[in-house]
Amino acid sequence: MKLAILGCGAWGTALAIAFGERHDVVLWGRDAAQVEALRATRQNQHYLPGATLPAGVRPSADLPVAVANADLILAAVPTNALRQTLRALKTTVSPGALVWACKGFEQASSRLPHQIVQEEIGGAHSCGVLSGPSFAKEVAEGKPAALTLASSDGQFARAAAHELHGPRLRVYSSGDVAGVELGGALKNVIAIAVGVSDGLELGSNARAALITRGLAEMKRLGVQLGGQPETFTGLTGLGDLVLTCTGDLSRNRRVGLALAKGQPLASVLTQLGHVAEGVFTAPEVRRIAASLNVDMPITEAVCALLDGRVSAAEAVAELMRRDPKAEQQSMS
């Protein structure tokens, strides 16, 4: 299969490495100097140092060349860059089969990726989202991982998943685009909370409780927004939540750890050097939940902490003061 991957950040590079062993891959980036360095060294020193591109991967800064005759275009850009990328793509080629691998809401519009795609190229194309519990570094190293490819076109989801599926990077199919995207966005907020708990050294019991109750929040809002309940107990819900809350490579978890130590948010983000989606997602989730009258106490606590209205210890104390409820009732 001829595969064009748009975006040569950490995730785009990792996917190029994973798929480049079996497919003809062009890895496109808009920064010509970065692409030339990729071509010369076969490594992405800035975003994914130490990982080497397979011989079958061809870096390119020329979008028309990158997507020419591609069987599948995979957009691995940040959500905030997806709209611009799609607009550039439209001037080059009429997108046929398109998959995006970005998470979170667009900051300017509060749109999910599938809504951006609908607005920019319409719904006449075979398209879907690729998401799941995956750190780019581990995927690039060839360590086992599993993802979900979701599309409203079930035949396309199954066919694309089959083509991308491999022995080390398993790809499952789904029809729940909204649920898959929401799981990938909402888990980042919970990961900040778990990072705070671990930073305060509150223990494994507290971590388990936050992950479990965080999943309840994700499911409550996700179902209200059109996701299927079972999606939130799958790879892109529970799976991605556990990884992001417990993995040391998680940027959102690291934000929580630093905030627990009293570091200012601006300083934390500067030191991080990469985008931590949960910081921007949390206030948007709070706004959407309020408009739908959905109870999101962990999200509220994270927002209060990010806004500087409470300390990390005060945010935890506020959660602990909540009135008890029947668990299954509060899961719905």
* Catalytic sites, residue numbers: 187
Return the residue matching tokens 């990328």: 85
Strands (E), the chain: 2-6, 24-28, 43-44, 48-52, 57-60, 72-75, 97-100, 126-131, 145-150, 169-174
- Give SS3 for 85: helix
Q: Which amino acid is at 255?
A: V
CA distance 106 to 124: 22
Beta partners for 146? 170
Percent helix, strand and coil across the chain, each rounded to 5? 55, 15, 30
Q: Which amino acid is at 212?
A: T
How do beta strands 126-131 and 145-150 pair?
A: antiparallel
Q: Could you give the C-alpha distances from 309 to 90, 191, 294, 302, 314, in angstroms and in order?
A: 44, 19, 22, 10, 9
Enumerate residues 6+ apart whose C-beta is below 8 A from 321.
Answer: none
Residues in the chain: 332
